[in-house]
Amino acid sequence: MPLSNTSHEENRSILTDELRLIPQWSIGLAIFSFVAVQYIFWVVMPAHTHHPGAPRGLHAFFAISWGEYAVLNALAIGYVSKDALRRGMSRPFWMLVCLLAPGGVGAVLYFLMRQPIISTCPACATPVHSDYHFCPQCNFHLSASCGICYRGARLTDLYCVHCGHDLAQDNTPERLRVFHG
């Protein structure tokens, strides 16, 4: 039971970190977009019709649906503006794709094609993908990994979850092993 709680807390932390990427201007744009869509549906459109129009319930459904669509687009553009930078991708290009592709297709394309997060090697300052275990320039051991299958391992793992290898037998640097206690 405690293991699933830890996993749940890690997932919540990751989600919270991702939501923090949405900039304040994007949240403001989302609120403005929702209010603007409601104004169009409830004030502008009824003033320009010469017939009774759709039933109130259907009108409300479309007003809220289009408002939510505008909110999601504004938040997606904001998220992409920050996330593309940390992944070394073209921020203006992907913001434009999210803006112009209909029905949220731009955001889906972005998530399908986005690169791993870029960080720097602490030893030589080379830009490296966050999923690398070793620096490609200086061979600095960046993260814990299995010595047999070379897949990533958590710092607290005693055995590789993929092949069962005893991680204590690997030459993991002391700075990574210090967390084992």
Percentage helix, strand, coil for the chain under 3-state DSSP, each rounded to 5: 60, 5, 35
pTM for this one?
0.69
CB of 82 closer than 8 Å to CB of 22 = yes
Of 36 and 178, the structure prediction assigns the larger pLDDT to 36
1-15, 44-58, 124-138 — which one is most confidently predicted on average?
A: 124-138
Work out whether strand 118-120 and strand 127-129 pair parallel, antiparallel, or are unpaired. antiparallel
DSSP letters, 67-92, are HHHHHHHHHHHHHHHHHHHHTT--HH
Averaged confidence pLDDT in the chain: 84
Only one residue has tokens 């070379």, namely: 150
- Residue 98 pLDDT: 92
Domain map of the chain by residue range? 2-115, 117-181
pLDDT tens sequence across 94-105: 999 999 987 889
Q: What is the CA radius of gyration of the chain?
A: 24
Per residue in 66-81, pLDDT (tens digit) is 999 999 999 999 999 9
pLDDT in tens, 1-31: 444 455 667 677 777 888 889 999 999 999 9
